[in-house]
Each structure stands twice: as structure tokens, then as C-alpha cells.
Amino acid sequence: MVTIRDLQKRAWENKINHHFNTTNVEREFCLLEAEVSEAYLSWLRKEKGLDLELADVAIYLFGLAEMNNIDLEEAIETKMKINEQRKYKKVNGVFIKDEN
């Protein structure tokens, strides 16, 4: 079974093998933002390929995690546990965290 951790390492190896950015965090955030925009436009235009655009978003996210020595799989597991325990309330049609 392939894990998020495996995919993160594989994405990083691909960056190294192709001499892509591995040090400039600011640039990587900008590239991630561009990929999110491409995915949104693909969805908005009802184009084929949204799945691959979302995959690009994940790949850039993996790179950012690796650049910052973050085990994204562990972070996602931790954050999902937090989110599952949160309480929300609806205010003006929007769900917000209930801090009580």
C-alpha cells in the first residue's frame, strides 16, 4: 500500500532528479498557488483533467512539506483528529468553530 509519506518522498526525488526548486520556499508557495488556480479553472470550465490538476496541487504540497522537514502524513492524521473533535455552529448560513 502506498502512503502519503511514500508519495511525499517520491515527489521530492522527482524534484531532485529534474533539478526543480528544492530550496526557495517562497517560490514553491507561489507555484502551489498557481496549481490551485489551474485546478479551480479546470473545475469552473468543466474541463477534463481536474483530477490531474488536483494531483499537481498535492505534489507541490508534498514538496513544500519536504522542504520544511514536515511529515505530511503525520500532520494530516493529527489535524484530522482535531477536526473530528471540533464542534461547529451555523451563523448566517456559514459553519464556524464553536469555541465553547
Rounded to whole angstroms, the Cα distance separating 71 from 60 reads 14
* pLDDT tens digits, 8-55: 999 999 999 999 999 999 999 999 999 999 999 999 999 999 999 999
Total count of domains within the chain = 1
Q: What is the mean pLDDT of residues 62-84?
A: 97
Its domain, for residue 79, covers 4-97
What's the CATH number where 81 sits? Answer: 1.10.287.1080
In angstroms, the CA 67 to CA 97 distance is 31
- What is the structure's pLDDT at 99? 84
Q: What is the pLDDT of residue 53?
A: 98
Q: Average pLDDT in the 53-60 region? A: 98
**Sequence-distant (≥ 6) Cβ neighbours of residue 29 within 8 angstroms:** 64
Give me the pLDDT at residue 100, please: 73
Distances (CA, A) of 87 to 38, 70, 75, 93: 33, 27, 20, 16
